[in-house]
A and B are shown apart, each in its own frame.
Chain A
């Protein structure tokens, strides 16, 4: 058995694989003690090899993982596992968003990550949903219902939040504000996609891949290119790490 563990900024994901098949997986909050949490998650496996990825990868390597790879590489491998011909991967994680372009063999050719700020990440969507009184799972569907153009201009989470509050106070319906929030995330993705370049098939991973409004807006912008939301979108990094473990 080969195990991949993705120690993200907010959650820890584990994928266990045998002969290229996913046989088990777990997802838990990182909490205050990501080391303790990951130990609890992996102890049930008799793993031949553990590969770690994500922000906590070096912590894992100090204690139990035999090898680390970056989340960029892990997502590239994971996405190719489900879509062997994909050339572009979008991943929106808790604290960062990234766009990765792959060469024909699936190697990372180029990538972009958001800068220091949380804007354009799933954390950003959570904060905005809370400000507008939506549960996270309602947020995308609500935004999708809106037909009205509104815009958020700020590039920064803190300022975007005050922009949202002032929109509320101007009496703009919250669905329309929700749409504007989603649009601002998509605009950021579009900038990254344009910088990296993209192919006709784009795989979308990370929890935000389940948000129907983001996916819809991306489709609208992309025209011909097709966005595939990956199965098990939260697990792509962990699966990529597990596959990498299997290779060695």
Chain B
């Protein structure tokens, strides 16, 4: 066995009981293991505490599913989401589990294209295809999914997805005026009512305070990791950090935060000893843009294979998910829901207009992470990020920040082209 052999564990009986397309899914499982072995285990000087996250991938289709089934047996729901605007604190307060279902792989896209238009975002197609092809255990296990009205591709797909799995939709406004907050708060209350109804429970101020603390702690752990990545030489690869940010969407939050903090302790030692995963001279790149859902490691892999290191992800699977916390100093449910809504209104997704806070945030993260260039990443056909890219580019030009913009999907066909563009970008940074 080579040092890069890796297996994602198989649980065929459990998959059968979840009404999955087992033979097809098993092939996908094997492929994931192979790709992971090649891209992840081959990295030099990985921190020892990455072992837990390797295990999370190994058990992604088994151990973690079993844990979720156990929770379901107690009558609590598993809720699927596609956006960081869905307040997971409320699900956790009711004793349920929140799981991110965004699709990051090419495999299910042909299933989706049998019904959805081809020229929409690959993340939406991938997610829909996972359900249509019955090749994602998380999609099979959820009691219902909660979509939102962010981009057009998503909000119209919910109507079609509802035929396969009960799909509720939370209305997210498009602007951030006072009246938008009023609407939003109402929506948060409706969401809470829906979750309470399914859980046959009523969420107390105490429950919600506990959940806010749990999720804040998870976000704090991820903030700590991000801060650590600003060190040079980089103590952890961008690929590993992205993986952790991806796992944040399906792991048990308390344990996850503990493991991230344990990793941070190890990384702080590394920094103290001047150790890193890349030489101090390696170009430091920050990624900004659309989320990279598991197992979308395409850009990180290209950048780091070319000798650079990624030090930050300004993205929903990245800082946009954890940069803001909820005020923990409120005790009655009404004010808790207020501060919760305030926190969610700070998310700077390009679906909003105007969204100038994001430009400032990108520049801030660039400075904080000690990056030397910004790579803007937009999924193909994601209009909001693709158009907002203009403003990010202009800001980078103004600040003299080396900048590259990439629009891509999950297919491998543009890898050669991207490699050239990325290497040329790194040549620019190296000077």
Contact = CB atoms under 8 A, between A and B. Distances in A.
A69 B407 contact: no
B315 to A, nearest CB: 22
Given A107-B431, A115-B407, A72 B413 contact: no
Interface residue range, chain B: 10 to 19
Contacts of A69: 427
B421 interface: yes
Contact of B420 (A55, A107, A108, A109): A55
A182 interface: no
Contacts of B424: 70, 72-73, 108, 111
Interface string B392-431: 0000000000000001000001101100110110011001
A113 B421 contact: yes
Contacts of A176: none
A70 B431 contact: no
A107 B413 contact: no
Contacts of A113: 417, 420-421
B427 A55 contact: no
Interface in A63-118: 69-73, 96, 107-109, 111, 113, 115-116
A116 B380 CA distance: 12
Contacts of A116: 413-414, 417
Contacts of A71: 420
Contacts, number: 32
A111 B406 CA distance: 12
Contacts of B428: 107-109
A111 B423 CA distance: 12
Most buried by A among B413, B417, B424, B428: B424
A73 B417 CA distance: 15
B427 A73 contact: yes
B430 to A, nearest CB: 10
A113 B416 CA distance: 12
Nearest to A116: B414
Contact of B417 (A96, A108, A109): A96
A117 to B, nearest CB: 10
B148 to A, nearest CB: 30
Contacts of A107: 428, 431
Contacts of A111: 421, 424
B420 A70 contact: yes
Given A107-B428, A107-B431, A108-B427, A72 B420 contact: yes
Contacts of B421: 72, 111, 113
A115 B420 CA distance: 12
A145 to B, nearest CB: 35
Most buried by B among A70, A71, A115: A70
Interface string A24-67: 00000000000000000000000000000001000000000000
Contacts of A115: 407, 414, 417
A163 to B, nearest CB: 19
Nearest to B427: A73
A152 B205 CA distance: 65
Contacts of B420: 55, 70-72, 113
In the A-B complex, the 10 residue pairs with the closest CB atoms? A72-B424, A70-B424, A70-B423, A116-B414, A73-B427, A70-B420, A108-B428, A113-B421, A55-B416, A70-B427
Interface of B: 407, 413-414, 416-417, 420-421, 423-424, 427-428, 431
11 contacts: A55-B416, A70-B423, A70-B424, A72-B420, A72-B427, A73-B427, A107-B428, A108-B424, A108-B427, A113-B420, A115-B417
